[in-house]
Amino acid sequence: MNPDLEKLQPYPFEKLNSLKTGVRPPADKPHIALSIGEPKHQPPAFVIEEVITHLHGLANYPVTKGRPELRAAAGGWLTRRFGLPVDSIDPEANLLPVAGTREALFAFAQAVVDRSRYPLVLAPNPFYQIYEGAALLAGATPFFLNTTAENRFLPDLDAVTADVWQRTQLIYLCSPGNPTGAVMPVEQLQRLIRLADEHDFIIASDECYSELYFEEDAPPPGLLQAAAAMGRDDYRRCVVFHSLSKRSNLPGLRSGFVAGDRELLRRFLHYRTYQGCALPPPTQAASIVAWQDETHVKANRDLYRAKFDAVLDILQPVLDIERPDAGFYLWPKTPIADTDFTRGLFERQNVTVLPGSYLSREAHGLNPGAGRIRMALVAELDECIEAAERVRRFVESL
């Protein structure tokens, strides 16, 4: 067996299941899960119809690069959404469809890391667990950048020493962040691009929550937007990951794309041809119409906004909890240890949340997720309100 498999941590949900083992929640309260970041709003009907209409396409092998129409639709969306210079995203060269960003975030490290040079892969902490596994299986050492309330949940680039930058081959960003919801400002993205030039590393920006924001006229900026604003519309060293899972409530479609530096994407395509993860034809057809429509995405944001308003009204009087910059998570502080809070809440109120410490690692003398929980506001409004009321009752009983 590959010995690096031994380095992989149990996934947070495995740890959560162990934490809940033997606990008996009250039978009179239906269970509410705020622990899983799976969108629950209705997917757009016209996208589902497109899947059905194109089922006959299953008779053919799809190509890894995807249909030109899909690359054009995704590239058009990316250009419009981030105000990129017209034609700077050539759908032939700067973009590749992927079977959800999870596999692509993982695969990207396997393609770009040179394991012979003691590589470091940087990632925020707490973080989406794939970054760490991707780094380890690519033969790199993960190096974590703690994101805490003191630095507005953004990685502190000044805290990284020159010798760390020197060994860095790849950095994962997550903006809007999971679990913190923090959005990296353009200036910080540009600073990182300059560091990438100086120390020769690649920036992989996971932007899969970019469409879930609160103010219609203030969408979160993206890495390619920051690059273009510096006059770098070749997007050198930069790639972004976008997904239909959260934007369009289509986590089961397994559809997203990677875009940016054409040379990186050329090599990544080569890698992917061997990996063999082409999108099924019905998925491609459905993705085309999904990227072309914004009405359903705005309706989605409206639903999240209503839930954040209602839940924050209930919880702010009793918990240290803030509205995030974007995304669908709340990341409150817990008055007791996050694991005790999670177990107690399940035991007394039959609500499941995720301990923050399960999403982060001890680094630089602290575990930045400890003392917080992640609550995903994915359920319907009524259920989120019910969950918030039960969390409040639990906090008041402590």
Ligand X SMILES: Cc1ncc(COP(=O)(O)O)c(C=O)c1O
Minimum distance between the CB of residue 340 and ligand X, rounded to whole angstroms?
25
Q: Tell me, what amino acid is at 132?
A: E
Closest to ligand X by CB, 37 or 324: 37
Minimum distance between the CB of residue 83 and ligand X, rounded to whole angstroms?
23
Q: Shortest CA distance to 11 belongs to which of 33, 40, 43, 37?
A: 37
C-beta separation of 96 from 272 below 8 A: yes
Position 349 contacts ligand X (CB under 6 A)? no
Listed ranges 77-85, 243-251, 279-287, 350-358: which one lies at the site for ligand X (CB under 6 A): 243-251
What order of strands is seen across the sheet that includes strand 168-174?
95-98, 256-260, 238-243, 202-206, 168-174, 120-125, 141-146
How far, in Å, CA of 60 to CA of 342, rounded?
48
Listed ranges 1-9, 96-104, 332-340, 378-386: which one lies at the site for ligand X (CB under 6 A): 96-104
For 232-236, the CB contacts below 8 A with 24+ separation are 232/193, 233/84, 233/85, 233/88, 234/88, 234/261, 234/262, 235/88, 235/94, 235/259, 235/260, 235/261, 235/262, 236/197, 236/261, 236/263
Minimum distance between the CB of residue 129 and ligand X, rounded to whole angstroms?
9
State both tokens at 271: 């890698």
State both tokens at 315: 């919880």
Minimum distance between the CB of residue 38 and ligand X, rounded to whole angstroms?
7
Sole binder of ligand X in the list 94, 245, 334, 350 (CB under 6 A)? 245
C-beta separation of 32 from 351 below 8 A: yes
C-beta separation of 234 from 240 below 8 A: no
Q: Where are the beta strands (DSSP E) in the chain?
A: 32-33, 95-98, 120-125, 141-146, 168-174, 202-206, 238-243, 256-260, 329-330, 351-352, 354-355, 373-376
Interface with ligand X in residues 183-222 (CB under 6 A): 206, 208
Minimum distance between the CB of residue 242 and ligand X, rounded to whole angstroms?
8
Interface with ligand X in residues 157-186 (CB under 6 A): 174, 178
- The 276-315 contact track toward ligand X, x by CB under 6 A, reads ----------------------------------------
Minimum distance between the CB of residue 124 and ligand X, rounded to whole angstroms?
10
Listed ranges 95-103, 309-317, 332-340, 384-392: which one lies at the site for ligand X (CB under 6 A): 95-103
Minimum distance between the CB of residue 316 and ligand X, rounded to whole angstroms?
25
Closest to ligand X by CB, 12 or 344: 12
Position 324 contacts ligand X (CB under 6 A)? no
C-beta separation of 12 from 129 below 8 A: yes
Minimum distance between the CB of residue 104 and ligand X, rounded to whole angstroms?
8
Q: How far is CA 379 from the centre of its chain?
A: 18
Listed ranges 63-71, 98-106, 293-301, 343-351: which one lies at the site for ligand X (CB under 6 A): 98-106
What order of strands is seen across the sheet that includes strand 354-355?
329-330, 373-376, 354-355
Interface with ligand X in residues 114-133 (CB under 6 A): 128
Nearest-CB residue to ligand X? 100
C-beta separation of 214 from 183 below 8 A: no
- The 33-52 contact track toward ligand X, x by CB under 6 A, reads ----x---------------
Minimum distance between the CB of residue 156 and ligand X, rounded to whole angstroms?
20
Q: Total binding residues for ligand X by CB under 6 A?
A: 13
Sole binder of ligand X in the list 44, 66, 181, 256 (CB under 6 A)? 256
Position 243 contacts ligand X (CB under 6 A)? yes
Closest to ligand X by CB, 181 or 281: 181
Sole binder of ligand X in the list 12, 44, 62, 100 (CB under 6 A)? 100
Q: Apex CA 215: angle with CA 249 and CA 94, to 5°?
A: 60
DSSP labels, 323-365: --SBSSEE--B-SS-HHHHHHHHHHHH-EE-EEGGGG---BTT
How far, in Å, CA of 183 to CA of 296, rounded?
23
Minimum distance between the CB of residue 207 and ligand X, rounded to whole angstroms?
9
Binding site for ligand X (CB under 6 A): 37, 100-102, 128, 174, 178, 206, 208, 243, 245, 251, 256
